[in-house]
Amino acid sequence: MRAAIVREHGGPEVIRVEEIPTPEPGPGEVAVRVRACAINHLDLWVRRGIPGAGFHLPRIGGADIAGEIAALGPGVDDVAVGAPVMVAPGVSCGRCERCVAGLDHLCARYAILGEGVDGGLAERVVVPRANVVPKPERLSWTDAAALSLPWLTAWHMLVARAELRGGETILVHAAGSGVSSAGIQIARFLGARVIATAGSDAKLERARAIGADEVINYKTEDFAARVRALTAKRGADVVLEHVGGETFERSMRCLARAGRLVTCGATTGAAAKIDLRHVFFKSQSILGSTMGSKAEFHQLVRLYDRGIFTPLVDRVLPLDAIADAHAALERREVFGKVVLTP
């Protein structure tokens, strides 16, 4: 089969589309014929390398997969070859205390497709049977691929970790990213008032179109001062953060009393300053969040099927254009998802 493989860390040019042996499913696994696979910032980090992260190469990237069941491994008898499916992006042992409690994303052996194990930037991928969910008929292949890792991440951040409630105000950074564009829609679904930031007026316009009540161009305005003005000096109840070093300290200043900052990443750097006096005097919380459970993925797929959320596909490219896809994401040209088709 053809697959996009990273064999060494570097720029987009290190990703090569190659012919490799077609994988076959083992016990409890299924093979999925990939119809569409979206990329995330995680794919950039795996390709670039991060000191201390220990990404094992070679690696086939891609966590956001939609396709058809191509083959069944021994012991799998409850799905049919040819069935259209979406793939939950994280794999776990399925046996430990956290897994059996429905907290598989906290499993000590948890791995994300395309990072810890091979992903879907290929003609075929093998995953555990537990990871496949029937694809809603109303979704195209590309739309289904656009509704996976970032949506699961944003859902877990806002629902499980920050416990965002109707009537609260949330600040969502980097509105054009996959996590944040999902977060805006989820926050609106939960009944919150959404303030979104982005670095261009075009992205701010799109943020409004998907549900942001107020928008801030962080290149031309001090977002912390603007949030203070928009909330009559009260501050935001929740901040959705994944930018890191460039914004973290000011994001903390945006929080109301008993406010919650929830973070899933640090795209501009992991070092951040915190004034602890604000944290304890104002009873604020800093919450870490990574991915979400398979049960949450099932919940999201049901909501997709009801048409509550809108998939945001910025562009669709062939697998051979994988380097161009990485470069576009790196240059922040994208609003929503870049989807590749084998």
Tens of pLDDT along 80-116? 999 999 999 999 999 999 999 999 999 999 999 999 9
Hey, how many other C-beta atoms are within 10 angstroms of the C-beta on 191? 11
Domain definitions of the chain by residue range: 2-147+311-341, 151-288
What's the pLDDT at 69? 98
Task: Report the CATH number of the 2-147+311-341 domain.
Answer: 3.90.180.10
**37, pLDDT greater than 80:** yes
**Percent of the chain residues topping a pLDDT of 70:** 100
- 265 pLDDT band, cuts 50/70/90, is confident
**57, pLDDT greater than 80:** yes
Residue with tokens 């987009």: 12
What's the pLDDT at 19? 97
Note whether 2-147+311-341 and 151-288 share their fold. yes
What's the pLDDT at 89? 96
Q: In this structure, are residues 270 and 246 in contact, taking their beta carbons and an 8 Å threshold? A: no
What's the pLDDT at 217? 96
Name the region of 215 (left: φ>0; alpha: ψ -120 to 50; beta: rest): beta
CA 89 to each of CA 115, 152, 195, 282: distance values in angstroms, whole numbers, following the listed order: 10, 9, 28, 37
- CA nearest 143: which of 342, 337, 297? 337
- 269 pLDDT band, cuts 50/70/90, is confident
Mean pLDDT of 245-252: 86
Mean pLDDT of 54-68: 94
**Percent of the chain residues topping a pLDDT of 90:** 86
3-state secondary structure of 3: strand
CA 252 to each of CA 4, 25, 174, 213: distance values in angstroms, whole numbers, following the listed order: 39, 47, 16, 21
What's the pLDDT at 58? 96
Cα atoms in the 13 Å half-sphere on the side-chain side of 54: 3
pLDDT tens track for 278-328? 899 999 999 999 999 999 999 999 999 999 998 899 999 999 999 999 999
Tell me the angle at which helices 41-48 and 322-330 cross, rounded to the nearest 10 degrees: 100
What's the pLDDT at 244? 82
**270, pLDDT greater than 90:** no
pLDDT tens track for 125-148? 999 999 999 999 999 999 999 999
Mean pLDDT of 58-74: 98
pTM equals 0.93
What's the pLDDT at 192? 98
**203, pLDDT greater than 80:** yes
**117, pLDDT greater than 90:** yes
**248, pLDDT greater than 90:** no
Domain 151-288, classified CATH 1.10.1660.10, yes or no: no
Q: Name the more confident of 61 and 336.
A: 61
- 274 pLDDT band, cuts 50/70/90, is confident
What's the pLDDT at 299? 95
CA dist 98 and 107 (Å) reads 6
Structure tokens at 36: 């569409």
CA dist 24 and 324 (Å) reads 30
pLDDT tens track for 167-201? 999 999 999 888 999 999 999 999 999 999 999 99
What's the pLDDT at 268? 76
